Amino acid sequence: MNTDEILSEHIGDSHDWHIITWNGHPIELHLPILIWSKNSGWHAFSSSHLAEGQTYEGLRYNENGKVVEMLSDGSESHPIDISITKNVCGLFMVSFITITLILYCANWYKKHPLQAPKGLVGLIELVICYLYDNVVDSVIGGRNSVRFAPYLLTAFFFILICNLVGLIPVFPFGMNLTGNIAVTVTLATATFLVVNLTGTKHYWKDILWPDVPWFLKCPIPLMQVIEIVGLFTKPFSLTIRLLANIFAGHTIILSLICMIFTSISMGVTMHRSMTAVALLFAVFMNMMELLVAFLQAFVFTTMSASYISQAQVGSEEASEFEVT
């Protein structure tokens, strides 16, 4: 068996949603492909037309699984691909779950003013209050807390639900969302935009004309270069931290499961002992990932809050408390 293929299939994105292989036949959902090519315009069809290397409307998969267009001179071109892939389905699902969950809670509060919730709403309130008091209010503080809490809480719940969805191995879950760079880049960009679009005059002055000896900033803008690089390293670190953690978790769990199958060729005793060990470790890793799922969502929120609070120096709404 090819472990690499299995890993990249489970961790990566695809145009088909593979549910299970039964008697050697894969059972899968063929998802819609949406392509815009500058040569032939819009294409919209089911991915079943491209199965097993077929060419449809001049499009086919290349060796990396990307849809390419075959041109008349025999060369390949990369059209703009906004297909509804497995991960896009996952994102829609996560969005739906997040919106439903939070709006359900908000609705409960509207119906029961000044009451304390129980059950699901109580659980969500616990998480929201914990984050609001310990992250948003203690890092940002003042009236700014109310201003930025919706963004930070949305990011937290979106990431948390993405992570948890990725941990459930059966259909329709199990896609690796926050272990995909497109997802984490978007989240980090959102934080970058929030930080820099709401930044105060004082914040920009600190970047463009910091309080350092003149020779560090005048003829050669050394400090400015460092500060501007710093602007981009922050979202970059957010991107990589989340990506690496979730990606690593998925990879390790899958590798452990694969070990059960690769050890078949090593004899019965070896296979059985490897199965036991792999299972034990897989259970442990799943527990660990449950913690990481929460932790990474929490870290992303905390770091975002800290970047936001740094960009609010000197704002009227900011409290005296500042993160350095």
Residues near another protein (CB under 8 A) are 8, 11-14, 34, 64-66, 80-85, 87-88, 91-92, 94-95, 98-99, 102-103, 105-106, 109-110, 113-116, 124-125, 128-129, 132, 146, 149-151, 153-154, 157-158, 179-183, 185-187, 189-190, 247
Tokens describing residue 32: 């819609």
26/314 with CB nearer another protein: 26
* Least Cβ distance, residue 146 to another protein (angstroms): 7
* Least Cβ distance, residue 266 to another protein (angstroms): 30
111/268 with CB nearer another protein: 111
* Least Cβ distance, residue 12 to another protein (angstroms): 5
Distance CA 79, CA 77 (A): 6
Say if residue 200 is exposed, middle or buried (CB neighbours under 10 Å; 0-12, 13-18, 19+): middle
Tokens describing residue 320: 């005296």
* Least Cβ distance, residue 175 to another protein (angstroms): 11
80/287 with CB nearer another protein: 80
Instruction: Please provide the DSSP assignment of 281-296 as one string.
Output: HHHHHHHHHHHHHHHH
Q: Are 242 and 296 contacting, i.e. CB atoms less than 8 angstroms apart? A: yes
11/207 with CB nearer another protein: 11
* Least Cβ distance, residue 68 to another protein (angstroms): 13
DSSP 8-class letter at 71: P
Neighbours of 136 (CB within 10 A): 28
Q: Are 239 and 185 contacting, i.e. CB atoms less than 8 angstroms apart? A: yes
Tokens describing residue 149: 């809490």
Strand partners, 46: 32
Q: Are 207 and 227 contacting, i.e. CB atoms less than 8 angstroms apart? A: yes
12/221 with CB nearer another protein: 12
Distance (Å) of CA 294 to CA 228, 241, 298, 319: 31, 14, 6, 28
87/144 with CB nearer another protein: 87
Say if residue 163 is exposed, middle or buried (CB neighbours under 10 Å; 0-12, 13-18, 19+): buried
14/206 with CB nearer another protein: 14
* Least Cβ distance, residue 130 to another protein (angstroms): 11
* Least Cβ distance, residue 161 to another protein (angstroms): 10
Angle at 164 between CA 95 and CA 283, to 5 degrees: 165
Would you mind telling me the total number of residues written for the chain in this entry? 324
180/310 with CB nearer another protein: 180
Distance CA 307, CA 298 (A): 14
* Least Cβ distance, residue 157 to another protein (angstroms): 8
